[in-house]
């Protein structure tokens, strides 16, 4: 069975007869699920079970629930979700090329994939392809509800099979795709039937093209392709070869230009000095080249120096239309050469990791109107004039901003909010969602004390059977997190625990650690701050920058990274962006399994111990 294929278009069809879905950039895949066999099959008939074991494992986990509905066949896309509307194709492509099982399993740990289902082809062995799309969708939705599978896409959800979101309003979905830098939109006729291995106008794909400015560099007459590059510092880096999109006259003009003004460097290859800029449409930049490039237009007015790596990053990830960036070249962190546009690009990239901790929390920001070297001020109260997409929560006389989406985050970034501080609870509860220990050494020169405290604290938490997470503070210290079940334990409960743990560490090593609140009395010891964990207090959010000289990031770590070589200065904006390309977010599973935390048992034991000591 080969998939039904889509027809490309430039305009989204409008009308009540259409429904709309996100176009994800992954591997199209048919899932054939028999009682004794499970097959993931690509559009070319390749079996993908070995390359995507997390999907197979998940299917095995729910086998008992689904047995009575088998055999069934699903149509969908294997994706590596970076947000709810975007998939990282390079992760999926890399997985598809892997052969060795140990390498595949390592990649699964770092970048687990999802299978996004958008059609239902067989149910209990009966073909559904002669039903209309609307009826197939209804049956799919009913099946997922019976199986307690997600009927909406969430990149944070560890359920590896999810049903795609369906929209009746294309404008609403297109805006979400634009804001999230998704690949595009798919329009489907509600009355369409599923016809395998056929390209049909009943299913239309409209891509969210990006336009990148490049410098023409070479022409290869043997295949008719032109080469384009951008400057990365002083070096020209080739990023594209193209010929699609050129009209016959343009193709002829360019070939004559290269042959008459260029330098012949091969049998049929000419090179041109950097002088002409063109605009290239593409869908993304993967590896070393633009994907699906096509000529868009000449740009004779553009200075070739503006065709550079930094501009390419912005053109590939444009800001949402709702964000009007002001003073993009304004220096923010001079020591790291970070300008305002660089900062907003950072926020775009980390938003999927940052927002889960900001969402539904009363936000306090520190704004630096003139960059990190200038004056700063705390801001809890929202400005009087704010965009309509900003969420406000009134608490007594303060109008707090609640940062629930990327547009709000970018707007705050444009206001030069450089630090984001959050309480330990959401707006839906007066009880903490996590415990956070703040490990505060006297200065960055004693950061080794924070490392030692974190490791000793982890040993204690491991003894209690509690899962813990760790991050740098972005300053001179570190913070250790314990996720808690939502709306379960009070701050009085957590104080019993935090005070015990801190006092235990101090008793073990009084020469290193202290709970003395007055700095002048700490005698160069690390301050274990359990008082800070209380209602109304805040902590810097994971992935928040800091307003210090280099703009260091409060960076989540894997526990095996907490060692003698760890230094706060390792985690600048550029290094964290590089880090996220090569390894998983250490806080990715922060809320997973939280209900199984043994905190209630630990708390009971501590309260009994305290009660005995007071008798």
What is the tens place of the pLDDT at every residue in 166-198?
999 999 999 999 999 999 999 999 999 999 999
Q: What does the angle CA 515 – CA 520 – CA 522 come to, to the nearest 5 degrees?
A: 35
Strand, helix or coil for residue 237: strand
Residues 136 and 264 in one domain: no
CA–CA dist 205, 194 (Å, integer): 16
Mean pLDDT over all residues of the chain? 95
Q: Give yes or no for a contact between 159 and 151, defined as CB atoms under 8 angstroms apart.
A: no
- Tell me what pLDDT residue 615 has: 58
Q: What does the angle CA 227 – CA 232 – CA 237 come to, to the nearest 5 degrees?
A: 25
Residues 10 and 25 in one domain: yes
Q: Is residue 494 situated within a structural domain?
A: yes
What integer is the mean pLDDT of 487-501? Answer: 95
What integer is the mean pLDDT of 520-541? Answer: 92
What is the tens place of the pLDDT at every residue in 99-129?
999 999 999 999 999 999 999 999 999 999 9
Instruction: Provide φ and ψ at 187, rounded to 5°.
Output: -110, 135
- Tell me what pLDDT residue 263 has: 95
Q: Is residue 12 situated within a structural domain?
A: yes
Q: Is residue 95 situated within a structural domain?
A: yes
Strands 184-189 and 18-23: antiparallel
Paired strand residues for 536: none
User: pLDDT higher for 36 or 541?
Assistant: 541
Task: Give the residue from 207, 240, 261 where a domain finishes.
Answer: 207
Residues 224 and 201 in one domain: no
Residues 179 and 202 in one domain: yes
Residues 267 and 364 in one domain: no
What is the tens place of the pLDDT at every residue in 130-172?
999 999 999 999 999 999 999 999 999 999 999 999 999 999 9
Strand, helix or coil for residue 76: strand
CA–CA dist 139, 150 (Å, integer): 14
- Tell me what pLDDT residue 1 has: 80
Domain residues for the domain of 267 are 210-316
Q: Is residue 543 situated within a structural domain?
A: no
Q: Is residue 547 situated within a structural domain?
A: no
CATH code, 230: 2.40.50.140
Examine the pLDDT at 268 and tell me if it is beyond 70: yes
Q: Is residue 613 situated within a structural domain?
A: no
23 is catalytic: yes
Task: Give the residue from 367, 402, 422 where a domain finishes.
Answer: 422
What is the tens place of the pLDDT at every residue in 541-559?
999 999 999 999 999 999 9
What is the tens place of the pLDDT at every residue in 299-327?
999 999 999 999 999 999 999 999 999 99
What pTM, to 2 d.p., does this model score? 0.94
What integer is the mean pLDDT of 219-240? Answer: 95
Residues 563 and 580 in one domain: yes
pLDDT bracket for residue 596 (50, 70, 90): confident
- Tell me what pLDDT residue 286 has: 84
Q: What is the 3 state secondary structure string of 335-386?
A: HHCEEHHHHHHHHHHHHHHHHHHHCCCCEEEEECCCCCCCCCEEECECCCCC
Q: CA quadruple 169, 171, 176, 181: dihedral positive or negative?
A: positive
Strand, helix or coil for residue 107: helix
CA–CA dist 494, 485 (Å, integer): 12
Q: Give yes or no for a contact between 203 and 189, defined as CB atoms under 8 angstroms apart.
A: yes
How many folded domains does the chain comprise?
4
Q: Give yes or no for a contact between 243 and 292, defined as CB atoms under 8 angstroms apart.
A: no
Examine the pLDDT at 574 and tell me if it is beyond 90: yes
What integer is the mean pLDDT of 497-502? Answer: 95
Residue from 433, 211, 428 nearest 302 by CA: 211
Q: Is residue 381 situated within a structural domain?
A: yes
Examine the pLDDT at 570 and tell me if it is beyond 80: yes
What is the tens place of the pLDDT at every residue in 436-467?
999 999 999 999 999 999 999 999 999 999 99
What integer is the mean pLDDT of 247-268? Answer: 94
Q: Is residue 365 situated within a structural domain?
A: yes
End-to-end CA distance of the chain: 75
Task: Give the residue from 271, 287, 316 where a domain finishes.
Answer: 316
- Helix H or strand E segment including 435: strand 434-440
Residues 461 and 442 in one domain: yes
Strand, helix or coil for residue 326: coil
- The Cα-based distances of 139 to 4, 120, 164, 167 in angstroms read 19, 8, 14, 17
Q: Which is catalytic among the residues 2, 23, 126, 431?
A: 23
Residue from 59, 14, 8 nearest 35 by CA: 59
- The C-alpha R_g of the chain, in whole angstroms, comes to 27
What is the tens place of the pLDDT at every residue in 378-434?
999 999 999 999 999 999 999 999 999 999 999 999 999 999 999 999 999 999 999
Q: What is the 3 state secondary structure string of 455-511?
A: HHHHHHHHHCCCCCEEEECCCCCEEEEEECCCCCCCHHHHHHHHHHHHHHHHHHCCC
- Tell me what pLDDT residue 240 has: 97
Residues 160 and 287 in one domain: no
């Amino acid at each position: 069975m080969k998939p039904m294929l889509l027809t490309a278009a430039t305009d989204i069809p409008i009308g009540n007869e259409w429904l709309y879905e996100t176009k994800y950039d992954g591997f199209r895949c048919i899932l054939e699920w028999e009682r004794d066999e499970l097959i993931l099959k690509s559009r070319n008939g390749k079996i993908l079970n070995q390359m995507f074991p997390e999907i197979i494992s998940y299917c095995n986990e729910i086998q008992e629930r689904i047995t009575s509905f088998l055999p069934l066949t699903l149509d969908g896309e294997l994706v590596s979700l970076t947000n709810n509307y975007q998939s990282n194709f390079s992760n999926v492509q890399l997985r598809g090329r892997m052969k060795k099982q140990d390498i595949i399993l390592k990649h699964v740990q770092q970048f687990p994939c999802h299978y996004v289902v958008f059609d239902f082809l067989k149910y209990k062995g009966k073909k559904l392809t002669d039903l209309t799309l609307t009826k197939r969708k209804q049956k799919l939705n009913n099946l997922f509800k019976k199986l307690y599978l997600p009927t909406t896409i969430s990149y944070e959800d560890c359920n590896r099979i999810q049903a795609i979101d369906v929209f009746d309003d294309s404008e609403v979905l297109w805006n979400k795709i634009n804001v999230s830098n998704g690949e595009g939109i798919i329009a489907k006729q509600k009355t369409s039937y599923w016809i395998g291995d056929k390209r049909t106008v009943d299913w239309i794909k409209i891509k969210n093209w990006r336009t990148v400015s490049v410098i023409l560099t070479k022409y290869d007459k043997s295949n008719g392709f032109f080469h384009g590059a951008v400057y990365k510092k002083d070096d020209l880096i080739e990023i594209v070869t193209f010929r699609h999109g050129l009209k016959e006259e343009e193709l002829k003009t360019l070939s004559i230009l290269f042959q008459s003004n260029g330098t012949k460097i091969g049998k049929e290859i000419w090179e041109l000095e950097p002088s002409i800029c063109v605009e290239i449409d593409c869908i993304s930049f993967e590896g070393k080249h633009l994907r699906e490039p096509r000529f868009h237009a000449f740009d004779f007015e553009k200075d070739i120096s503006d065709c550079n790596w930094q501009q390419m990053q912005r053109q590939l990830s444009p800001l949402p239309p709702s964000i009007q960036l002001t003073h993009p070249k304004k220096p923010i962190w001079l020591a790291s050469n970070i300008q305002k546009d660089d900062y907003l690009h950072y926020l775009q990239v980390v938003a999927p990791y940052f927002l889960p901790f900001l969402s539904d929390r009363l936000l306090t920001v520190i704004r630096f109107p003139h960059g990190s070297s200038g004056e700063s001020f705390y801001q809890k109260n929202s400005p009087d004039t704010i965009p309509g997409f900003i969420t406000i929560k009134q608490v007594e006389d303060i109008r707090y901003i609640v940062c629930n989406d990327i547009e709000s985050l970018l707007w705050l970034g444009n206001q030069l909010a450089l630090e984001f501080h959050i309480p330990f609870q959401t707006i839906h509860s007066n009880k903490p969602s996590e415990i956070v220990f703040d490990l505060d050494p006297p200065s960055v020169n004693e950061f080794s004390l924070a490392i030692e405290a974190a490791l000793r604290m982890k040993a204690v938490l491991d003894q209690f059977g509690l899962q813990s997470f760790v991050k740098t503070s972005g300053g001179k210290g570190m913070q250790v997190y314990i996720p808690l079940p939502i709306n379960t334990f009070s701050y009085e409960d957590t104080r019993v625990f935090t005070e015990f743990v801190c006092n235990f560490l101090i008793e073990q090593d009084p020469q290193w650690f202290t709970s003395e609140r007055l700095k002048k009395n700490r005698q160069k010891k690390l301050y274990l701050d359990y008082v800070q964990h209380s209602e109304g207090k805040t902590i810097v959010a994971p992935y928040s920058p800091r307003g210090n000289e280099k703009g260091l990031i409060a960076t989540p770590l894997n526990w095996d990274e907490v060692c003698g070589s760890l230094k706060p200065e390792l985690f600048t904006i550029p290094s964290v962006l590089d880090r996220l390309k090569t390894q998983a977010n250490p806080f990715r599973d922060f809320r997973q399994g939280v209900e199984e935390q043994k905190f209630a048992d630990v708390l009971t034991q501590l309260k009994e111990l305290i009660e005995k000591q007071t008798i």
